[in-house]
Structure 1
Amino acid sequence: MRSETIDYQADVPLSGTLFLPDGVGPAPGVLVFPDIFGYGDHALERAERLAGLGYAALAADLHGERRALAVEPAMAELQRFYEEPDRPGARGGAALAALAGHPGVDGARIAAIGFCYGGRLALEMARRGAPLAAVVGFHSSLVSSYPQGGGLIRGKILACIGSEDPGVPVEERTAFEAEMQAAGVDWQLHLYGGVYHTFTNWRADSWGHPDFARYDAGADRRSWAAMQALLAEVLGKE
């Protein structure tokens, strides 16, 4: 396995880390979008694990120059992203183009995964018709900013959500199911009982908000296995 820095441009200069698997020939690609705090060790660890499975995985940059934001600026940026969805959408699209254009990547076989806001971004890109074979959202919002809903989705969708996640209430899950059904999407919603927000991030317990965010090793393991199965199905890697 090897890694390299990938610089790309949207409304701001962006810079991610691409992990490339061992072997000969272009590999299928996976975009890895971090949570709203931005580029950091959680997304990097997941991208590296994906490369170990045979994928070319890009840990993408949300805020420019690999910035990781503190809580208050991250929440302010989250609000701006909700109000101006085309701005993060353009950043996600630039990451997709950078990954697809790399000589070590099979640009015809690309999926995206994301955590918290990063999962929402991946889902929104699919809703806008991005050429993604699959999208996996981990503890991500399921609400869409776009009125066409799932009608432009080209690939398969997997949402992995904790049953006790205050950020993704029952009503939101129900609306997502209706949207996917109406659009004829190949979709899955995995619900993990007794599990809260940010269940894949081992740092969540240190944040001091157990009524909102908690790491859960079982849900982390099961959701990662579900992601692996879907990626193997659509990208052709074991």
Structure 2
Amino acid sequence: MIRSETINYVADGLSMIGQLYAQDATAAPRPGVLVFPEAFGLGYHAKSRAERLAGLGYVALACDLHGGGQVLDDLGAVMGLIGPMRADPASTRARARGGLDALLKQPGVDQARIGAIGFCFGGTMALELARSGADLAGVVGFHSGLLTARPQDATSIKGKVLACIGADDPAVPFDERRAFEEEMRAGGVDWQLHVYGGVVHSFTNKNADRMNRPEMVRYDAKTDARSWASMQSFFTEVFAA
């Protein structure tokens, strides 16, 4: 049985409200996984993915983004909040680090086996946390922004990296993918980039189609399944004893 618990923590000066998911307690500590949401905030999508991770045997914390558990619905307002965080990753890293510290305090978590995943801007958060030098075994970004204002920090990445991107995603164009590859190479990172043909942004989110912007955001069931399977294989590898 999966249990769920609200977790309150502080990050970047904000009062955060996350949601923890885990199977009933077992004797052996289990790997922990942070789940960072899309730019709108911690809603059903990220929480449901954290619950699925718990079903796989991990302790998963779906992390707050904007504080107070806010989920915003105005794209302009969201971009106004996200823009400064992209320009200076210190705030992004601080919010991600707060989630990491909260996860590490939870009983039953193997502190030597921690990973992070994220969707859209949440993928950026996972990558920035890795660039900050956090002790992560691996991070996975789904349709995540790949660029950073501090590419030189890739040398601080301690774990492995997997990014899953739509080949036709207007939010992650080819030049951004190429810059990411160059960053990973220069940083000596163990990295993978999975690119899915005919796929745009938000391919894991079934609610993406509600925006009526199929040229920009569109759910893709096949790619959703493929990328999730890639994540499972990746975590099996990085969490191997």
TM-score range, shorter chain: over 0.9
**For the Cα contact (< 8 Å) 2:88–2:149, is it kept in 1?**
no
Q: TM-score, with normalisation over the residues of structure 1?
A: 0.96
Secondary structure of the corresponding residue to residue 211 of structure 1 = coil
How far residue 22 of structure 1 moved from its aligned partner, in angstroms, is 3.1
Q: Deviations over 1:43-85 (max 9, x none)?
A: 0100000000000000000011110012222111111212342
* Partner residue in 2 for 1:76: 80
Gaps of 5+ in 1: none
Is 2:194 aligned against 1:190? yes
Secondary structure of the corresponding residue to residue 113 of structure 2 = strand
Q: RMSD value over aligned CA atoms?
A: 1.2
Q: Partner letter of residue 201 of structure 1?
A: N
With over 3 angstroms needed to count, the CA separation of the structure-2 counterparts of 1:85 and 1:206, relative to structure 1, is same
| Percentage of pairs with the same residue | 55
Q: How does 1:1-12 map to 2 (within 5 A)?
A: 1-10=2-11, 11-12=13-14
* Partner residue in 2 for 1:133: 137
Q: Partner letter of residue 143 of structure 2?
A: H
Q: How does 1:2-151 map to 2 (within 5 A)?
A: 2-10=3-11, 11-24=13-26, 25-70=28-73, 71-151=75-155
**For the Cα contact (< 8 Å) 2:93–2:125, is it kept in 1?**
yes
Q: How many residues align?
A: 237
Secondary structure of the corresponding residue to residue 51 of structure 2 = helix
Q: Partner letter of residue 161 of structure 1?
A: I
Secondary structure of the corresponding residue to residue 14 of structure 1 = strand
Cα distance in 1, alignment partners of residues 16 and 25 from structure 2: 28
Task: Indicate the larger mover: 178-187 or 41-50.
Answer: 178-187
Q: TM-score, with normalisation over the residues of structure 2?
A: 0.95
Q: Deviations over 1:178-232 (max 9, x none)?
A: 1111221111000000000000000011111111001000110000000000111
Gaps of 5+ in 2: none
TM superposition outliers: structure 1 runs of 4+ over 6 Å:
none
